[in-house]
Structure 1
Amino acid sequence: MRTLPPLSLLRAFEATARTGSVTRAAEELHRTHGAVSRQLKLLQEDVGAALFDKEGTGLKLNRHGEDLHALVGGVFEQLEHGYARLRAQVRGSGLHVACSATFAMRWLVPNLEDFYRTRSDIRIRLSMTSAREIRTEGADLVIAWDLSSYAEADRARAIPLAPVAFGPVCRPGYQRKAKAGTRITHDFTSSAWTHWEQQTGRHIGTGGQIALPHTHLCIEAALSGLGVALVEKRLVRRELDEGRLVAPWGFVPLPFTLMALPAAGRTLPVELDEFVAWLRGRLESQDAKPLAGVRG
């Protein structure tokens, strides 16, 4: 008989130890803050010692916690890689790509026809998620422009694809009242507004705020005239070209880069390098085309 605590307790501990936050661990595990806190309490009772010390508003592993994390982290990595290999064998060959639902719907899927025009033999399987942490999807390649929650080793081997530029967009006519209007923010990238204001010296949407969990919801809110949303230019190109949105203050580069992160610790499909090269070329060719509805 195995004398191990429930796997759910170890998952809660590993996520909290890795992120340094019960809140971020709860987001990753799709649990409430209270549920994760209770799991940590049960685990510490089972161990017979505290595993964390408070550090500011976050948590820091103590000596017992570091010992357990060294053990659990390695086991989870092995389990994750082994399970990914099994899924790949069952599902057949191809390239598994994970990215945000908004990027998939608004850029990747509409552009895949160009990729398949020359490589129709490569099977692309997509995992779409709005969560920042998508390692558990077992993807061969993760596409994202915010890898701040990833380990330093992951960030170091990520492949830059293209610079990103954000700008406030709204429905035509709304810009006249936008300065004192409503600001539409993304729950997980609210810092983008801070970066944009620092870059431009402008303050837009000082009359209130709407926070939404998905970028495509922020765009839909702007289309409905609910306020001004700060979004990456590629995600609203169609609406700008069609005149359904305008970008009166233009787009400015922010300190992010669209990155491609290959999976670590396992053999990757031979098609990965070709797909990454296509991504870079396609993004570069589209960036050369001017956007409609934009002022500097």
Structure 2
Amino acid sequence: MRRLPPLPALLAFEATARLGSVTAAASELRRTHSSVSKQIRQLSDDVGGHLFEKNGNGLKLTARGQELSRLLTPLLNDLHMVSHALRTEAEDRAILIGLSTTLAVRWLSQRLPRFYAQHPGIEVRIVTNRLMRAPDSEIDILLSYDRLRDSFRYEDYLPLGDALYGPVCAPGYLVKRDDHHWFAPVRLFQKGAAHTWEAWQRLSGTQLASDRLVEHMHHFLALDAAATGKGVALAEERLVRADIASGRLVAPLGFARVADGFRAAVMPRAYARPAITPLLNWLAIEANRDDIAGI
């Protein structure tokens, strides 16, 4: 088994030898002066002799220190270059997709095993927007389905498929029609998105009234509340396909269509990345599948 000096001590020695002082080495390494001095003493003990000696107000390498420095600095430079290349390779393989938590949990994450089976060399990392949009600088692709909530802020985008919207509720929940419109006791919505009900009514040409509007922090919480009989929630069909198939939810008024409403936008930083094209092609195929992932 190799008996090697401790890496922190080697780094402290190399920086001190290269920069000419413990103070400069401590600043570069973001350590305290005493910590660097202690590590150099430990390294000296480990290799059996002093590595520095006093030279006026400064330090100079001993013969033993010169020998170690000649070997160590190129070795650390090579290690830095190899590790940088490996990190860059790993980052090039990983694609960061920004999307809502609901879309991530109810659609994308369930389908990713199919992508990995076809493209084992590409990693997809999910960046959920939560209540704030992820900055463009932190993602490679933005995936979006919600054409009711607000306008899509990217003029250059890839349409993945149509988006379909409709009210969903638990089986047996009261949704009835009178002479003028449909009625449900409670309509549910995500925080900040009450206006999506008006947008859906304009899209579908159907009026749905209620006694109360109830807000939920996230869309998936509104959908879960609908499934437990607490009201009617708006949903894009892909997000509730499995629940409808299992009988957990029903769509009493069907779904209204927005052509090319399911979209992907590629951020400028990702234009040249070779993994983008196979991922976009796969997303377009998945967006138009009518199956339920995992079944």
TM-score, normalised to structure 2, is 0.60
The alpha-carbon deviation at position 146 of structure 1 amounts to 4.6
Match of 1:142 in 2: 142
Question: How is 1:152-163 mapped onto 2 (pairs within 5 angstroms)?
Answer: 155-163=154-162
Match of 1:198 in 2: 202
SS in 1 for 2:245: helix
Question: How is 1:1-296 mapped onto 2 (pairs within 5 angstroms)?
Answer: 89=88, 92-93=91-92, 94-131=94-131, 133-135=133-135, 138-146=138-146, 148=150, 151=153, 155-176=154-175, 179-254=183-258, 257-265=261-269, 268-286=272-290
Partner Cα distance (2:259, 2:194) in 1:
14
Q: Which has the larger radius of gyration?
A: 2
Amino acid at match of 1:277: N
Partner Cα distance (1:190, 1:218) in 2:
12
Residues 126-152 of structure 1: CA distance to partner in whole angstroms, max 9, x if unpaired?
Answer: 11122352125611111113585665x
**After alignment, is 196-205 or 93-102 more displaced?**
196-205
**After alignment, is 232-241 or 205-214 more displaced?**
205-214
Indicate conservation of the 8 Å contact 2:188/2:222, yes or no.
yes
**After alignment, is 211-220 or 138-147 more displaced?**
138-147
Indicate conservation of the 8 Å contact 2:140/2:270, yes or no.
no
Identical positions, percent:
27
Q: Over aligned residue pairs, what C-alpha RMSD do you find?
A: 2.6
Structure 1 pair 91–137 and aligned structure 2 pair: CA distance change class (3 A): farther
Residues 167-189 of structure 1: CA distance to partner in whole angstroms, max 9, x if unpaired?
Answer: 10000100346814101012243
Partner Cα distance (1:150, 1:238) in 2:
27
Structure 1 pair 265–113 and aligned structure 2 pair: CA distance change class (3 A): closer
Partner Cα distance (2:162, 2:276) in 1:
21
Partner Cα distance (1:207, 1:91) in 2:
53
**After alignment, is 97-106 or 201-210 more displaced?**
201-210
Partner Cα distance (2:239, 2:164) in 1:
11
**After alignment, is 95-104 or 169-178 more displaced?**
169-178
Match of 1:40 in 2: none
SS in 2 for 1:281: helix
Structure 1 pair 114–212 and aligned structure 2 pair: CA distance change class (3 A): same
Indicate conservation of the 8 Å contact 1:140/1:268, yes or no.
no
Structure 1 pair 284–150 and aligned structure 2 pair: CA distance change class (3 A): closer
Structure 1 pair 220–146 and aligned structure 2 pair: CA distance change class (3 A): closer
Structure 1: where are the runs of 5+ without partners? 1-87, 291-296
The alpha-carbon deviation at position 190 of structure 1 amounts to 2.9
Partner Cα distance (2:204, 2:98) in 1:
32
The alpha-carbon deviation at position 114 of structure 1 amounts to 1.4
